[in-house]
Amino acid sequence: MSLLELQRQFRDHLLDAPSPIADRIDGDSTADGLAVYHHAYRAQLVACLGDTYEKLWAWLGDDAFRAAAERYIAAHPPQSWTLSDYGSAFPAVLAELYPDDPDVAELASLDWTLRRAFDGEDASPITAGDLAAVDWETARFRFTPTLQIFPIRTNCAAIWNALALDETPPAATCLAEPAAIRVWRRELAPQFSSMDACEYDSLSRLQEGANFSELCAHLGDTLGEAEATLTIGQLLGRWLQDELVIAIA
């Protein structure tokens, strides 16, 4: 038998697919030996998900988290060479598992994006002093590469913060207004902040390539000139202060 065929049989054993691999094993304790690998494969992935989705784990509790993790592992064998990539679709799976509890998937998204920000690309933010030379008519924004944004419907941010402080988290509730979260890393520290719908929309448009004057025009249409000018000033100030912007050119 070729090495490739033997390795396919071993893989199938790990993945619970029919496999004659036991016939290729020498010795009288074949099943026990194969069971070590079968168990280690799952245990490592459960531990990986537990490490990445630490707050989600605390929120769901051991049994529910493990059940969700095992279901995920069965449907999503790892493909990347790094365990850091494992679990990217866990929030989507949780959204299916908990259709009436959007807090669960949102908390998972927060855990995942914070973990991604942890070892994401380094970047140097600009400051207010760098704005003097900007041609605002054509200016486009470049944000720090760890910045990720996503809409939320629940108080997942408050839940996450309480769990991080080892405090009793609030009950899950739906927010009165649409909101969103932005996650990024400031120097070496991953962090997140809640956003209202206007900031989320503005950030989304700039991330998708709109230039500054296009954003101003859009805000002018929706908010009126005076309100738009005030809002864009506030947003720009906040983004600079939070070290989100790495270039405006």
Partner 1 sequence: MPESIIPPFQGYGLGLRPPHYQEVLARDLPVDFFEVISENFMVKGGRPLTMLDAVRERYPVALHGVSMSIGSADGLRPEYLQRLKTLADRVQPLWVSDHLCWTGIEGFNSHDLLPLPYSEAAMETVCANVHQAQEALQRPILIENPSSYVAFADDEMTEWGFLTELCRRTGCYLLLDVNNIYVSAVNHGFDPLAYIAGVPAERVRQVHLAGHSQGRGRLIDTHDQPVPDPVWALYKAASRRLGPVAAMIERDDDIPPLDDLLAEVALARGYAANAEACAA
Chain positions contacting partner 1, by CB under 8 A = 1-4, 6-8, 10-11, 14-15, 23-27, 29-30, 32-34, 36-37, 40-41, 44-45, 48, 77-84, 86, 117-122, 145, 185, 188
Residue 79: CB atoms within 10 A of its CB come to 7
Is residue 29 within 8 A of residue 66, CB to CB? The reply is no
Strand 189-196 and strand 245-248: pairing? unpaired
Output 122 or 221, the one with its CB closest to partner 1: 122
CB of 148 to partner 1, least distance (A): 14
Output 77 or 178, the one with its CB closest to partner 1: 77
Output 85 or 221, the one with its CB closest to partner 1: 85
CB of 134 to partner 1, least distance (A): 26
Output 116 or 169, the one with its CB closest to partner 1: 116
CB of 48 to partner 1, least distance (A): 8
CB of 41 to partner 1, least distance (A): 5
Is residue 75 exposed (0-12), middle (13-18) or buried (19+ Cβ within 10 Å)?
exposed
Nearest Cα residue to 195 out of 123, 146, 244: 244
Nearest Cα residue to 79 out of 38, 118, 45: 45
